[in-house]
């Protein structure tokens, strides 16, 4: 079962009006590296002819795996073919913190 965060994801399949599921494993042949729903790193937009904005076209599942292995943003960026800043924005957007960042985040919230 998936939640409203998954609406628009290319892996989401509507089974009936009240039930949908994630087809990530069928689409890619690999297990999901995360839970479905908010914060899913496998969330992808279907390819379309958008005139404004950019579609994500990099392997977030690989980036998540490398993050869990303790790799730096620079190492992850080199592996997935994106810039260090792109990886950092993706990581912070998905609340994936490294070392001191978690302390800073908690410190800011205490004020």
Contact 37, 18 (CB under 8 A): no
Render each residue's pLDDT in the chain as its tens digit; 111 residues.
567 777 778 788 888 877 888 888 888 888 888 887 777 888 777 655 445 555 467 788 888 889 988 898 999 988 888 889 989 998 888 888 876 555 455 555 544
How far is CA 1 from its chain centroid? 18
Provide the number of structural domains found in the chain: 2
Residue 52 lies in a domain: no
Q: Are residues 40 and 66 in the same domain?
A: no
Phi, psi of 16 (to 5 degrees): -155, 180
Residue whose structure tokens are 């965060």: 5
CA-CA distance, 64 to 96, in Å (whole number)? 9
Q: Is residue 97 part of a domain?
A: yes
List pLDDT tens digits, range 54-77. 546 778 888 888 998 889 899 998
Q: Would 102 be classed as within a structural domain?
A: yes
Query: Which domain covers residue 40, as residue numbers?
Result: 1-45
User: Is 62 found in the same domain as 41?
Assistant: no
Q: For residue 51, tell me if it sits in a domain.
A: no
């Amino acid at each position: 079962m998936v939640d409203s965060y998954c609406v628009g994801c290319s892996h989401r399949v509507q089974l009936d009006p009240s039930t949908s599921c994630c087809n990530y494993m069928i689409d890619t042949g690999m297990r999901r590296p995360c839970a479905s729903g908010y914060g899913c790193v496998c969330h992808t937009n279907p390819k379309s002819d958008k005139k404004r904005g950019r579609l994500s076209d990099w392997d977030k599942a690989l980036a998540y795996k490398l993050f869990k292995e303790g790799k730096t943003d620079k190492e992850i960026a080199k592996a997935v073919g994106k810039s260090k800043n792109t990886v950092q924005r993706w990581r912070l957007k998905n609340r994936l913190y490294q070392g001191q960042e978690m302390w800073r985040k908690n410190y800011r919230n205490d004020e």
